[in-house]
């Protein structure tokens, strides 16, 4: 049953890959589609999912704390390993992003399939906490002593992120408790319907199998950390925070999915090793088709 739920999601990724390799509709479509989704459709989905979330529920507060704890523990372990085995920022940045970042489109698609609207509301709370944390950690990992590490620049980067702004807007509406007036909720719901399928197609279009030949050992090790050890860590953190049911499931799902394709863009912008990052993304996305059903069967259905 779990495989029947997940395979259409990965099928959409495969369709995106095939269409992009065949040049359909054309080479300029996929970057434009990614931008449309990132700046318009996906924020609409987040606001729509958060507007009715029971944000005062203690379980959701614990979910937010567990999200931050899971990401920060993983980052701390990686930094301790780096202290023992030094790695330049150009390579450490991709390695850290490969472990702590997550493909939001894939995570929400799986959550919606397994837990429905309730799961989406919980996932939006997870994202409201985790997205700022992973962005700050990613920038810090890619820079050493540069201007991008200053609090002012970091804050400015966060406040320009459409996902963070959408989460803040959705939380504000939920806290107000009055919903969105004048049919705005239905308007956002219509926009949101296109976000996940388009996002999954763009994930497939972004895959770069040729980059996997660059350093297969490093990419495989990173995939093991991300796809197998991170969900184990998430399950332990969920237990420590007293999470169960949908909240625990969301934490495990977002810890078991491959890293974000947008990590490649940030890596290039910060002069990191873009080929390594592309290889990590591709390796994890392909491997997740096998690891994700197993992990969710063992850890994610509580």
Q: How many CB atoms lie within 10 A of CB 301?
A: 11
The rounded mean pLDDT for the chain is 89
pLDDT per residue as tens digits for the range 43-92: 999 898 888 777 777 888 899 999 999 999 999 999 999 998 888 999 99
CATH number, domain containing residue 243: 1.20.1530.20
For the record, the structure tokens of 159 come out as 């406040």
pLDDT at 177 over 80: no
Q: What is the mean pLDDT of residues 3-30?
A: 89
Query: Residue 147 has what pLDDT?
Result: 59
The pTM of this model reads: 0.89
d(CA 87, CA 69): 24
Q: How many structural domains compose the chain?
A: 1
Burial of 174 (0-12, 13-18, 19+ CB in 10 A): buried
Q: Over 90: is that where the pLDDT of 161 sits?
A: no
CA pseudo-torsion sign 157, 158, 160, 162: positive
Q: How confident is the model at residue 187 (pLDDT cuts 50, 70, 90)?
A: very high
What number is the average pLDDT over the span 125-151? 84
pLDDT in tens, 100-134: 999 999 999 999 999 998 899 899 899 989 999 99
pLDDT at 301: 58
Task: Report whether pLDDT(94) > 60.
Answer: yes
Helices (H), ranges, 55-161: 58-84, 89-100, 104-142, 151-159
Mean predicted confidence (pLDDT) in 244-258: 95
pLDDT value of residue 1 = 60
Q: Where do we find the tokens 């991008």?
A: 148
Q: What is the pLDDT of residue 15?
A: 95
Q: Which residue has the tokens 């990724």?
A: 13
Q: Which pLDDT score, from 0 to 100, does residue 283 have?
A: 94
Query: Which of 67-71, 140-144, 158-162, 169-173 reaches the highest mean pLDDT?
Result: 67-71
Q: Is the pLDDT of residue 248 over 60?
A: yes
Domain around 16: 2-299
């Amino acid at each position: 049953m779990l495989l029947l739920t997940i395979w259409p999601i990965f099928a959409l990724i495969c369709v995106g890959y095939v269409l992009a390799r065949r040049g359909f509709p054309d080479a300029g479509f996929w970057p434009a589609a990614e931008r449309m989704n990132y700046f318009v459709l996906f924020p609409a989905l987040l606001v729509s999912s958060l507007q009715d979330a029971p944000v005062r529920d203690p379980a959701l507060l614990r979910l937010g704390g567990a999200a931050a704890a899971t990401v920060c523990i993983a980052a701390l372990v990686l930094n301790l390993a780096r202290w023992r085995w030094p790695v330049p920022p150009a390579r450490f940045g991709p390695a850290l992003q490969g472990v702590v970042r997550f493909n939001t489109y894939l995570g929400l698609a799986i959550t919606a399939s397994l837990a429905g609207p309730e799961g989406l509301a919980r996932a939006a709370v997870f994202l409201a906490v985790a997205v700022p944390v992973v962005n700050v950690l990613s920038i810090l990992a890619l820079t050493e002593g540069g201007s991008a590490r200053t609090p002012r620049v970091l804050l400015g980067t966060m406040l320009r992120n459409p996902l963070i702004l959408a989460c803040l807007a959705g939380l504000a509406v939920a806290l107000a408790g009055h919903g969105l007036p004048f049919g705005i909720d239905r308007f956002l719901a219509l926009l949101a319907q296109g976000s996940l399928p388009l996002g999954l197609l763009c994930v497939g279009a972004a895959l770069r199998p040729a980059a996997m030949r660059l350093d297969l050992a490093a990419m495989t090790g990173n995939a093991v950390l991300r796809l197998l050890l991170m969900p184990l860590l998430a399950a332990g953190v969920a237990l420590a925070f007293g999470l169960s049911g949908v909240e625990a499931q969301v934490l495990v799902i977002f810890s078991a999915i491959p890293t974000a394709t947008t990590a490649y863009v940030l890596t290039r912008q910060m002069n990191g090793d873009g080929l390594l990052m592309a290889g990590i993304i591709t390796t994890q996305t392909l491997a997740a088709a096998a690891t994700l059903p197993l992990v969710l069967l063992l850890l994610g259905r509580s």
